[in-house]
Amino acid sequence: MEQYTGKSIFNAIAIGPIYFYQKAQATVVRKHVDDIEAEKTRFASAKDAALKELQILYDKAIAEVGESGAGIIEVHMMMMEDDDYLDSIGNIISNQEVNAEYAVATTGDNFAKMFAAMEDEYMQSKASDVLDISERLIQALSGTETEMKMEQPVILATQDLAPSETVQLDKSKLLAFITEYGSTNSHTAILARNMGIPALIGIGLTSKDHGKMAIIDGANGILILEPTMEVLRDYQEKKAKEEQQKHLLQEMKGKTTLTRDGKEICLYANIGNVGDVAGVLANDAGGIGLFRSEFLYLEARDYPTEEEQFRTYKTVAENMAGKKVIIRTLDIGADKQADYFKLKKEENPAMGLRAIRICLSRPEIFKTQLRAILRASMFGTIAIMFPMITSVWEIKKIKEILAEVKAELSEAKIPYKDVEIGVMIETPAAVMISDLLAKEVDFFSIGTNDLTQYTLAIDRQNQNLEMFYDAHHEALLRMIEMTVNNGHRENIWVGICGELAADQELTERFIRMGVDELSVSPAYVLPLRKLIGEIETNG
């Protein structure tokens, strides 16, 4: 029996076998080839396959986001057919008698260095494009696409999981996960909480651990490998008790969330996709306070179409049967990356081109999403909120774009409702101008995850800063209070949808500040309803 300690993300127990997943390593090995002509033919067919893939992506992008979104794919197709690039690959194969993968990787590196050294900024930007097409060609040559094949419920162990990888996991086969790297406030951690599964960070297992029986004790942040029969039995009992307690909380279902002195609090849940709605209903949340719509984009290999998005939002609205569904518009960027957005690598992505900044710089993408949301508004009670706002002009611009989309829908006789709009308060700038923002919108939802990182200057992804990270920092609590007061002065409601909303040590303080809504991972709804029932607003 071995025991490890990590940082816990969700307090629950999981018992099952370890599935170790080694991420694909894009290393290219130089190999000698005897038949040079056969190698060149192999390269030619891989290039055709890669070009076909690009053509499909191009057609889809043209249909969905128009010329500007498709332009980059066209550039990649042209680069893949470039004579100098192809000659270099052909020459390396012939002169050095080596495999095509090696010739492509070498050519890609040489061309990227050449572009990077140019004066012109536009030409410099071609360096990442040439590396990108070379990577695509290498994949086509080696046919690598490592997939996780979890055949039974397992505890997944790996080095790191990006949010885009986490959303693609088969949740019916996932008991828990363990990663070597990551932080407790990352989006991967948030996803685990939304799914209600235990996860531990900071434990590095290896392929030698694959298949070993394991226990995750989320309450204590412990992983036990190959437990003795006695320990296993002990944890099976604890798990049964955990189930019993969950069962007891069921008595809170169907009840309104009221403080002891009768003030109603909206207790909503956070979701990332349609699959999470089952958890929202099972835990009887009063609505959805944060639908992180970017996960729709992260699950896809290309921009989700208006139709695809419409169907998703409609299904969520219908399943919620009239209860409020607050859809947050695309918050991509920083740790949430989808390759097809072709976002440039940034030194400081958390402060870079992300969220509303992408939507306002690429309005075709934004308008597609707004159209889909407005169309879905006919099927329930939908509200829209906008992430990462820092200035009043942004919300004014958003309202202009929204008005354009509404006019286009009216023109085409497509019905929609006038939905509530709100902003996320997740930058110190938004807090400081919340008096002005409150005049523009119907509600505020405080995103404490980002508000904490920007206020304390602590990167939420950086696992080495946890000793400086104070989730209860007075600066943050004062900012929340200021936002609530400014919102109430303009008669709009104010909620919290960041992870802090579920922090039971702060619930009383939030309620006394006058917070109107708390939106949390589904599994926290019933425990919070119980706790709120014990709080006096003016005690």
Residues serving a catalytic function are 187, 497
Q: Which is nearer to ligand PEP, 312 or 448 (CB)?
A: 448
Stretch that binds Mg ion, among 205-213, 299-307, 371-379, 443-451 (CB under 5 A): 443-451
Q: Of 190 and 358, which CB lies nearer to ligand PEP in the complex structure?
A: 190
Q: What is the smallest separation between the CB atom of 134 and ligand PEP, expressed in angstroms?
A: 33
Which partner, Mg ion, ligand PEP, none, binds residue 448 by CB below 5 to 8 Å per kind? ligand PEP
Residue among 313 and 386 whose Cβ is closer to ligand PEP: 386
Task: Give the contact letters, 397-436, x = binds to Mg ion (CB under 5 A), - = no.
Answer: -----------------------------x----------
Residue with smaller CB distance to ligand PEP, 284 or 426: 426
Instruction: Point out which span in 149-157, 214-222, 314-322, 448-456 binds Mg ion (CB under 5 A).
Output: 448-456
Measure the CA–CA gap between 419 and 492, rounded to whole angstroms.
14
> What is the Cα–Cα distance from 459 to 470, expressed in whole angstroms?
12
Torsion of CA 444, 447, 453, 459, to 10 degrees: -140
Name the binder of 39 from ligand PEP, Mg ion, none, CB < 5-8 A by kind. Answer: none
DSSP single-letter state for residue 160: -
Q: Which residues is 325 bridged to in the sheet?
A: 288, 382
> What residues from 433 to 492 belong to the interface with ligand PEP (CB under 6 A)?
447-450
Q: Kindly state the tokens that stand for 305.
A: 């179409």
The residue among 69 and 333 lying less far from Mg ion, judged by its C-beta, is 333
Return the DSSP state at 468: T
Residue 252 burial (CB < 10 Å; 0-12/13-18/19+)?
middle
Does position 101 bind Mg ion by CB under 5 A? Answer: no
What is the Cα–Cα distance from 524 to 539, expressed in whole angstroms? 24
Tell me, what DSSP letter sits at residue 302?
Answer: S
CB–CB of 17/214 below 8 Å?
A: yes
User: Least distance to Mg ion from the beta carbon of 335, Å?
Assistant: 11
- Residue 476 CA, distance from chain mean position: 23
Distances (CA, A) of 259 to 79, 243, 268, 454, 507: 64, 26, 15, 32, 11
Q: Which residues contact 2 (CB under 8 A, 6 or more apart)?
A: 224, 225, 226
CB 440, min distance to ligand PEP, A? 20
Does position 288 bind ligand PEP by CB under 6 A? no
Q: How many residues bind Mg ion (CB under 5 A)?
A: 3
Partner from Mg ion, ligand PEP, none contacting 292, C-beta within 5 to 8 A by type: ligand PEP
Q: Which does 194 bind (CB under 5 to 8 A by kind): ligand PEP, Mg ion, none?
A: none
Nearest to 18 by CA among 194, 204, 186, 260: 204
Q: Which does 283 bind (CB under 5 to 8 A by kind): Mg ion, ligand PEP, none?
A: none
x/- contact string, 393-432, with ligand PEP (CB under 6 A)? Answer: ---------------------------------x------
Q: Which of 498, 518, 524, 532 binds ligand PEP (CB under 6 A)?
A: 498
What is the DSSP secondary-structure string of 431-459? HHTHHHHTTT-SEEEE-HHHHHHHHHT--
CB of 437 to ligand PEP, least distance (A): 16
Which of ligand PEP, Mg ion, none interacts with 440 (beta carbon under 5 to 8 A by kind)?
Answer: none
Residue 489 structure tokens: 């002065």
- Under the criterion CB under 5 A, does residue 450 sit at the interface with Mg ion? yes
Sign of CA dihedral 304, 53, 332, 363: negative
176-235 binders of ligand PEP (CB under 6 A) = 190
Q: Which is nearer to Mg ion, 215 or 332 (CB)?
A: 332
**Pick 127 or 471: Cβ nearer ligand PEP:** 471
Q: Which of 497, 515, 523, 528 binds ligand PEP (CB under 6 A)?
A: 497
> HSE on the CB side for 489, CA within 13 Å?
13
CB of 447 to ligand PEP, least distance (A): 3
The reply on whether position 447 binds Mg ion by CB under 5 A is yes
DSSP state, 538?
T
Of the pair 426, 517, the CB lying nearest ligand PEP is at 426
Tell me how far apart the alpha carbons of residues 444 and 521 are, in angstroms, rounded to a whole number: 19
Amino acid identity, position 89: I
Question: Is residue 292 part of the contact set for ligand PEP (CB under 6 A)?
Answer: yes
Separation of alpha carbons 390 and 396, rounded Å:
12
What is the total count of residues that contact ligand PEP (CB under 6 A)?
A: 11
What is the rounded distance in angstroms from the CA atom of residue 22 to the CA atom of residue 518?
Answer: 38
Q: How far is CA 125 from the centre of its chain?
A: 27
Q: Which residues contact ligand PEP by CB under 6 A?
A: 190, 290, 292, 331, 426, 447-450, 497-498
Q: Which residues contact Mg ion by CB under 5 A?
A: 426, 447, 450
